[in-house]
Amino acid sequence: MTSSGHRPSNENAADSTRLREVKVEEAIGLRLAHDLTQIVPGQFKGCLFPKGHIVTREDIPKLKDIGKEHLYVIELAETDLHEDDAALRMAAALCGDNVTYGEPREGKVGIRSEIVGLTSIAAEVVHEINRLGDIALATVLNHRVVRPGEGLAATRAIPLIVPESKVRDAEKIVEYYRGKHGVAPIGVRPLRSMKAGMLTTGTEVYTGRIEDKFGPAVRAKLEALGSEVAEHRFAPDDRHTIVNDIYYLREQGYDMILVTGGMSVDPDDRTPGAIAAAGADIVSYGTPMLPGSMLLFGYLRGVPIFGLPGCVMYDPYTSFDVLLPRILAGDTLAKEDIVALGYGGLHR
Ligand SMILES: Nc1nc2c(c(=O)[nH]1)N[C@H]1C(S)=C(S)[C@@H](COP(=O)(O)OP(=O)(O)OC[C@H]3O[C@@H](n4cnc5c(N)ncnc54)[C@H](O)[C@@H]3O)O[C@H]1N2
Ligand code: MOO
């Protein structure tokens, strides 16, 4: 037996991981230490067997075809993990509600959403795990909408062999987070189906001078997330009328009130004043995100109320598209949630 370990070792016991050279006939059931490449000129060049592959009896003629009489196999020390097992253990530890993980491939395991929902990802856990070295965790940002099958994270082992202690350290970080917060660091929160009452302001629309474009745009945005505009009313740029229509929508008991247009600086822009006059607690008028900076968000007797600026009917991704799913996921938004949008909030 030739020992050509990637670490010094002259003992027989598996107290450190070694590469061992074996005859192909004797390699059945053992793991390949690296990818094996086949080249057939004019036809194929690629990986015939990936590293980590467990050799079977059927593989032997194929191995001989590519000139292999001997192979390197891994003898894992008890203190080490193969890259696939390391990535799998990390994924298993990290996954919470409504996510699933796939088979390991080249030391990587993908974590996917099972539902339409909002990502729930603990940034501090991601940072702590990535500080450990030898293992890596990459995720999308927190509070993003994901759809079934869409990836939101991937774990990866960096070397082929990873000290088991690294994975255990990652598991401890996750365990601590679960204990403190009662949820896993990576999950997806479902969206509730809500009924919105919508009021479109603008004399030019109310009088029929121009066709309404807000209705179809906002309806599509809600429907894409499993909610609906249950009623759509129209008002001219008159503050008193807008206030009364807001009262009306509130009385209907809708889960959310959306008031569109008239959100900026023109003398005919009455919407922010009307929302305030209707008695809403304004969380924020003005949002540090572009597009959607003129958005207003507040609560009218506990019911979320949005003032939606013109860009919402025009741009596919605005501050409304960021905040709406938060409401559907059941979050109560505070000023700090709006403030946090600015960093990374330029989308033009
Ligand atoms: N000097 C400034 N100008 C603008 C500012 C600003 O801060 N200072 N903000 C800009 C931003 S951001 C936006 S967004 C727009 C629009 O804001 P508004 O919500 O006030 O929009 P309106 O003035 O009501 O209308 C703008 C435009 O869109 C048409 N419109 C409105 N509603 C409908 C509808 N339901 N269907 C079809 N078209 C509609 C309206 O006729 C106007 O043409 O303001 C920037 N300007
Ligand atoms: O708010 Mo405008 O609402 O940024 O494009």
Q: Per the structure block, which two tokens stand in for 330? A: 């059941």
Task: Say yes or no: 200 and 333 in one domain.
Answer: yes
Task: Say yes or no: 182 and 108 in one domain.
Answer: yes
Q: Per the structure block, which two tokens stand in for 236? A: 């001219």
Q: Which helix (H) or strand (E) holds 44?
A: strand 44-49
Q: Is 202 in the pocket of ligand 1 (CB under 6 A)?
A: yes
Per-position pLDDT tens, the chain of length 348: 333 334 333 344 457 887 788 999 999 998 887 778 888 999 988 889 987 789 999 999 999 999 999 998 878 888 999 888 999 999 999 999 999 999 988 789 999 999 999 999 999 999 999 999 999 999 999 999 999 999 999 999 998 889 999 999 999 999 999 999 999 999 999 999 999 999 999 999 999 999 999 999 999 999 999 999 999 999 999 999 999 999 999 999 999 999 999 999 888 889 999 999 999 999 999 999 999 999 999 999 999 999 999 999 999 999 999 999 999 999 999 999 999 999 999 997
Q: Is 258 in the pocket of ligand 1 (CB under 6 A)?
A: no
Domain that holds residue 238: 195-339
Task: Say yes or no: 87 and 218 in one domain.
Answer: no
Here the CATH number for the domain that contains residue 15 is: 3.90.105.10
Task: Say yes or no: 212 and 333 in one domain.
Answer: yes
| pTM > 0.90 | no
Q: What is the DSSP letter of 25?
A: G
Distance 117 CA to ligand 2 centre (A): 25
What does residue 72 show for φ and ψ, rounded to 5 degrees? -90, 130
Helices (H), the chain: 59-65, 83-94, 123-131, 164-181, 203-206, 214-223, 239-251, 271-277, 319-328, 335-339
Q: Is 267 in the pocket of ligand 1 (CB under 6 A)?
A: no
Last residue of a domain, one of 189, 216, 242: 189
Is there a domain that residue 99 lies in? yes
Ligand 2 atom at minimum distance from 293 CA? 1
Ligand 2 binding pocket, CB closer than 6 Å: 290-294, 309, 311
Is there a domain that residue 137 lies in? yes
Task: Say yes or no: 327 and 207 in one domain.
Answer: yes
- Residue 210 burial (CB count, 10 A): 9
Is there a domain that residue 262 lies in? yes
Q: Which ligand is nearest to the CA of 234?
A: 1
Task: Say yes or no: 84 and 113 in one domain.
Answer: yes
Taking Cα atoms as reference points, which of 252, 249, 311 lies closest to residue 280?
Answer: 249
Is there a domain that residue 257 lies in? yes
Q: Is 163 in the pocket of ligand 1 (CB under 6 A)?
A: no
Is there a domain that residue 285 lies in? yes
Is there a domain that residue 346 lies in? no
Do the beta carbons of residue 259 and residue 306 sit within 8 Å?
A: yes
Task: Say yes or no: 290 and 317 in one domain.
Answer: yes
Say how far apart CA 51 and CA 241 lie, in whole Å: 71
Is there a domain that residue 344 lies in? no
Task: Say yes or no: 110 and 168 in one domain.
Answer: yes
Task: Say yes or no: 121 and 214 in one domain.
Answer: no
Q: Which ligand is nearest to the CA of 207?
A: 1
**Ligand 1: residue whose CA is nearest its atom 9:** 264
Total of domains in the chain: 3
Can you name the residues that pair with 39 across neighbouring β-strands? 45
pLDDT tens digits along 138-197? 999 999 999 999 999 999 999 888 999 999 999 999 999 999 999 999 999 999 999 999
Last residue of a domain, one of 138, 162, 189: 189
Here the CATH number for the domain that contains residue 183 is: 3.90.1170.30
Task: Say yes or no: 235 and 289 in one domain.
Answer: yes
Is there a domain that residue 11 lies in? yes
Task: Say yes or no: 296 and 239 in one domain.
Answer: yes
Q: Is 307 in the pocket of ligand 1 (CB under 6 A)?
A: no
Q: Is 345 in the pocket of ligand 1 (CB under 6 A)?
A: no
**SS3 call for 284:** strand
Last residue of a domain, one of 25, 48, 75: 75
Say how far apart CA 32 and CA 143 lie, in whole Å: 41
Task: Say yes or no: 97 and 64 in one domain.
Answer: no
Query: Residue-wise over 225-238: b if at least 16 C-beta within 10 A, else e?
Result: bebebbebebbbbb
